[in-house]
């Protein structure tokens, strides 16, 4: 009989089925999160183009502060750690600002080759 740490007993079929079900749910949620982030970044790209065309700064500290407070409250209501939600939003905001700075570096606010009128 092999008693090494790498030979843990196999979970019974009921446990394995539940584990599979939960992991499939996690995978579906991860896919939804990615798609939602993609949609969010499509919108923030449009904001970046609009800001660039009107010579507005890439960052808006007041908006960011309002969004952080709003997201912290949403997190609390959802029983999610507000500090985690704030860290996540700060990461997203930093990426959005980076995109806006890149767009602003282009004189017409257009970095994707599309016509600026198509931005929305």
Phi, psi of 35 (to 5 degrees): -65, -40
Burial of 90-107, coded b for 16+ CB within 10 Å and e otherwise, reads eebbeebbebbeebbeee
Reference 63, options 96, 23, 32, 20; nearest CA is 96
Classified by CATH at the fold level, domain 33-108 comes out as: Chorismate Mutase Domain, subunit A (1.20.59)
At 8 the pLDDT is 65
**Residue 52 neighbours by CB distance under 10 Å:** 24
Q: Over 60: is that where the pLDDT of 120 sits? A: no
Picking from 1-10, 27-36, 106-115, which range would have the lowest pLDDT averaged per residue? 106-115
Give the pLDDT band (50/70/90) at residue 106. Answer: confident
d(CA 43, CA 60): 16
pLDDT, mean of residues 89-107: 91
d(CA 72, CA 108): 36
pLDDT, mean of residues 10-32: 94
Tokens of 31: 């896919």
Give the pLDDT band (50/70/90) at residue 48. Answer: very high
At 114 the pLDDT is 39
């Amino acid at each position: 009989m092999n008693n090494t740490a790498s030979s843990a007993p196999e979970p019974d079929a009921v446990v394995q089925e539940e584990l599979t079900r939960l992991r499939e749910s996690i995978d579906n949620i991860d896919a939804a999160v990615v798609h939602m982030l993609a949609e969010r970044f499509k919108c923030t790209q449009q904001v970046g183009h609009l800001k660039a065309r009107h010579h507005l700064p890439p960052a808006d500290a007041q908006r960011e502060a309002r969004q952080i407070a709003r997201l912290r409250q949403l997190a609390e209501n959802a029983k999610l750690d507000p500090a985690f939600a704030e860290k996540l939003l700060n990461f997203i905001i930093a990426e959005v600002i980076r995109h806006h700075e890149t767009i602003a570096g282009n004189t017409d606010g257009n970095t994707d080759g599309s016509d600026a009128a198509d931005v929305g």
